[in-house]
Amino acid sequence: MANSITSDDLIPIEQHFRVSAGPGAGKTHWLVNHIKNVLHTSLRLGKMRKIACITYTNIAVATILSRLGTSSDKVEVSTIHSFLYKHIVKPYARFIASDYDLNVAKMDGHEDIILSNYSFLDELKQATGQQRINDNAALVDAITKAKWKFNPTGVLEIKPDYPRRIDNYSVKNETYSQYKKMAWTKGVLHHDDVLFFSYQLLVKFPFIQSVLRAKFPYFFIDEFQDSNPIQVRILGMIGQAETKVGIIGDKAQSIYLFQGADASQFEAFILHGIVDYKMSDNRRSTNQIIDCLNIVRPAFPQNKYNDINSELPCILVGDIKSAFAKGKELSSSDVIHTLSYKNVISNAMKKEMNNNIPTGNLLHALSETDSNKERQIIISICIKATEFALHNRFKDALKELDKLFRGHKDLSRKEALKHLILLRNKYHEYCNGSLLEYHTFVNTQIKQISGLRKGAILDFYTNHTYQQLAVCVNIIEDDSLHRTIHKSKGDEFDNVILILDEEKDLNFLFAPDLDGKEEHRVFYVAMSRAKNRLFISTPTLSAANRTKLARMPISVHDLPVS
């Protein structure tokens, strides 16, 4: 049985602990107070030892540091990858460098950008006997999706969740390990590799565990539900002796399965003597929104801390553009955030698209449909570069266009910049046209490519618009009014519209399964971002579902057909 606490309560500092905190519970406030309490009362810190505080994003790091104020010099606040690189990989990687051909001399931090230059990928395909793969973009995507995971025998292996096929060929499993070897010889580490090497070093050289415990007698991990199994194993090793480990999180907000997170690990994490606590207050939302959250999650009902009444959450039935307009009207505010599951929907909202929003990734469809790989690659590069530039990501835009001039290093950046300016300045000429018109623009203004005569590929270019492919570009952006739900996690907004793709997505209200279905957890997270007004947009609503909603504290508003 978990002990109930509020965000203002203090707990004993010399114990392992697990705090389960629902959305809006004030867990960051509680964590900062707990750290301050440790700083003021601990007899084990001394002059040289510190508290380690691990959280999930750099934004969260900055938030905690700002709240700690002058106390922050005795606390090391960082993401898990940054912490492990600084304290394990960087100082000790040389111990196992020869085992993995890791070039320690060239090692300089860690990043998520996959090596993708032509000569490197050509060498990779040669080494794995896959010269027949022509689609380098798809190969890079396959490598990006591969993650380090424990196999049934407890050994770490690198591979994606499911077999990948490119150009009708299956990508060999050895591709991923060979990529790692080739990257490591260049001193390149990706975020996942930091976990891999940290685990190997801790297992093979246990004295490193002792060093960490000596440096950090207290180790706190926020958003623990976002940890993957490798991180959990590492944290378990650190907490086996004198270091007191505290984890804070919420299994119902575990929505990063694609990054290896496992919702069950939060409750399964065990250290000897660990004490459980539970924060049941919701300090964020109105009573009506909390009632709705409690319907979705009856096993963890939240208390109405602020006791503020507002309008009922509202189902908006119709197209998303009308839903956005109605949401602003009912909220009496122009500031309303839309949250969607798919990146393509959030991009479509940014572009104010209403009709013909693609249901899948058309950039991938183009790759599969267009047998002329050179043409397909040039079109994709130009679309990505244009969209990056429109979002002021000029470095990424130029990196895309650089690919058009491989083999001409002296011309590459100069030509890329010239074409980027052209694509931006003449955006109005092609942005509302078909992909075929965009093809003509690129062919005459950027780089000559093959024409389109007949068949399925001509139909594809004719029947799809530039905007439909543009919304499929993944733009990493955290401050827009229109975000994916994953990019909104950890934030809160006055007014929220949760955009559902299909009416059947409403099942998260009618038959919620937060333990078994990640999409239900995703929608729960989206709802819980709202402070004052919550809307849920659905394209249709059946009579049966109207009857179900009539029995719930949720209103329904039918939008006029546009």
pLDDT, tens digit, 9 for 90 and up, residues 155-194 = 999 988 888 888 788 999 999 999 999 999 999 999 999 9
Question: Which region holds residue 473: left if phi is over 0, alpha if psi is between -120 and 50, else beta?
Answer: beta
pLDDT at 539 over 50: yes
Give residue for tokens 């949401």. Answer: 327
Across 5-9, 273-277, 463-467, 472-476, least confident range: 472-476
What does the pLDDT average to over 451-478?
Answer: 87
Q: What is the pLDDT of residue 462?
A: 94
Structure tokens of 121? 């990928």
**Strands 165-166 and 169-170, sheet pairing:** antiparallel
CA distance 479 to 490: 13
pLDDT of residue 409: 47
At residue 203, the 3 state secondary structure works out as helix
* Lowest-pLDDT choice from 13-27, 379-393, 411-425: 411-425
Helix axes 118-128, 174-185, angle to 10 degrees: 130
Q: Which residues are within 8 A (CB) of 400 and not within 5 positions of it... i.e. 6 or more apart?
A: 381, 382, 384, 385, 388
- Residue bearing the bigger pLDDT, 111 or 142: 142
d(Cα 223, Cα 58) in Å, to the nearest integer? 13
Inform me whether the pLDDT recorded for 410 exceeds 60: no
Report the candidate in 237, 235, 233, 255 with the shortest Cα–Cα distance to residue 246.
235
Mean pLDDT of all residues in 44-48: 88
The predicted model gives 372-390 an average pLDDT of: 89
Stretch 358-362: mean pLDDT: 84
Q: What is the DSSP letter of 88?
A: I
Neighbouring residues of 447: CB distance < 8 A, sequence distance ≥ 6? 378, 404, 419
Residue pLDDT, tens place only, 70-89: 888 899 999 999 999 999 99
* pLDDT, averaged across the chain: 91
- The contacts of residue 457 (CB under 8 Å, 6+ apart) are 369, 370, 371, 372
Read off the pLDDT of residues 303-348 as tens digits, 9 standing for 90 and up: 999 999 999 999 999 999 999 999 999 999 889 999 999 988 998 8
Stronger pLDDT, 553 or 161, i.e. the higher one: 553
Q: Which pair of structure tokens corresponds to residue 166?
A: 């490119």
Average confidence (pLDDT) over 86-93: 97
Q: Copy the structure tokens of residue 312.
A: 């009922």
Question: How high is the pLDDT of residue 405?
Answer: 64
What is residue 408's predicted lDDT score, i.e. its pLDDT?
Answer: 42
Lowest mean pLDDT among 199-213, 249-263, 393-407: 393-407
| Residue 263 to residue 515: CA distance in whole angstroms | 8
Range 254-258 average pLDDT: 84
> How large is the average pLDDT for residues 506-516?
96
Q: Residue 561 is encoded by which pair of tokens?
A: 């057909």
Q: Taking residues 493-508, what's their average pLDDT? A: 96
Residue 292 scores a pLDDT above 50: yes
Report percent pLDDT > 90 for the chain.
64
pLDDT at 37: 96
Task: Look at residue 558 and tell me whether its pLDDT is greater than 70.
Answer: yes
